[in-house]
Amino acid sequence: MQKVSSVLTWAGIVLLVLIWVPLLAICRLFDRDPVRYKTGFLFRKLGLAITKINPNWTIILENFDQIDHRKPYIMVSNHLSNADIPVISNLPWEMKWIAKKELFEMPILGWLLKFAGDISVDRSSSNKRAAIFQRCKYYLDRNVSVIFFPEGTRSRSGKLNKFAIGAFDLAIKEKIPVLPIVLDGTQGCLPKKSWIFDQNVFVKLKVLEPVMTDQYEIDQNFELMDKVRLMIAEQLSEWRGQSLNEVDSLRS
């Protein structure tokens, strides 16, 4: 029975993607906003739709309704699985995603990313950091948030991994608040090396309090990073009923 449900869910996902390509192309054609806000927002709705058609997932969002969607933030989230992106897309905001260049070169997905104005990262480039910062600043200056997975790649163990410093350097440099986002449960959305969805997956997403960066200097970048990382670790610890040592790979 679960195989049948999974086949139907995958068929629904494919159908949604095929519908979204012309929709997004038309929206992009008439979207004169230089940051493509409406186009990007419509693209995030695809992620929302994907989570809604999956009968196996229950998603709970917390503490998101106090956020002004046209006030720019540098959003940072822990990263547990490929399901994180559609789950985060349940948030009723537009934010520009940073994704590796190879994804932009893929058929269909690459078109959607380009239509939405998401940010391509060429990992082989020697000045990739400067290019990312320049593109992020363009959006932040126009009141659009950007989102980072500072762990770089998804956690295989479910524990919080080491953070890269880039998002926090950018936040201090541009004096933009950091908005921490915490996810748990997405690691169970799809088993590794399987196309069959697990049953009764419960996913939680919580938006934590913004961390203001006005008083931080650039040499305090690690202090800011450690503060935000601890906030995320403490929320995971509370949700899982485990100690910080059990949820934080750097404390193990």
pLDDT of residue 126: 61
Q: For the chain, give the mean pLDDT.
A: 93
Residue 100 reports pLDDT greater than 90: no
Euclidean distance between the first and final Cα of the chain, in Å?
Answer: 40
Burial group, residue 227, by CB count within 10 angstroms (0-12, 13-18, 19+): middle
Could you tell me the pTM of the whole model? 0.93
Residue 200 reports pLDDT greater than 80: yes
* Dihedral Cα 163, 47, 124, 115, nearest 10 deg: -140
| Inter-CA distances, 28 with 57, 80, 109, 246, Å | 31, 31, 15, 45
**Closest by CA position to 184, among listed 159, 161, 162:** 159
Q: Categorize the per-residue pLDDT at 144 as very low, low, confident or very high, splitting at 50, 70 and 90.
A: very high
CATH architecture classification, 2-247:
3-Layer(aba) Sandwich (3.40)
Residue 121 reports pLDDT greater than 90: no
> How far apart are alpha carbons 220 and 213 in whole angstroms?
10
pLDDT of residue 68: 87
Is 97 strand, coil or helix?
Answer: strand
> How far apart are alpha carbons 52 and 215 in whole angstroms?
41
Query: pLDDT by residue (tens digit) across 57-84?
Result: 999 999 998 888 889 999 999 999 989 9
For the chain, give every domain's residue range.
2-247
Q: What is the mean pLDDT of residues 117-127?
A: 81
* Dihedral Cα 126, 132, 133, 138, nearest 10 deg: 140
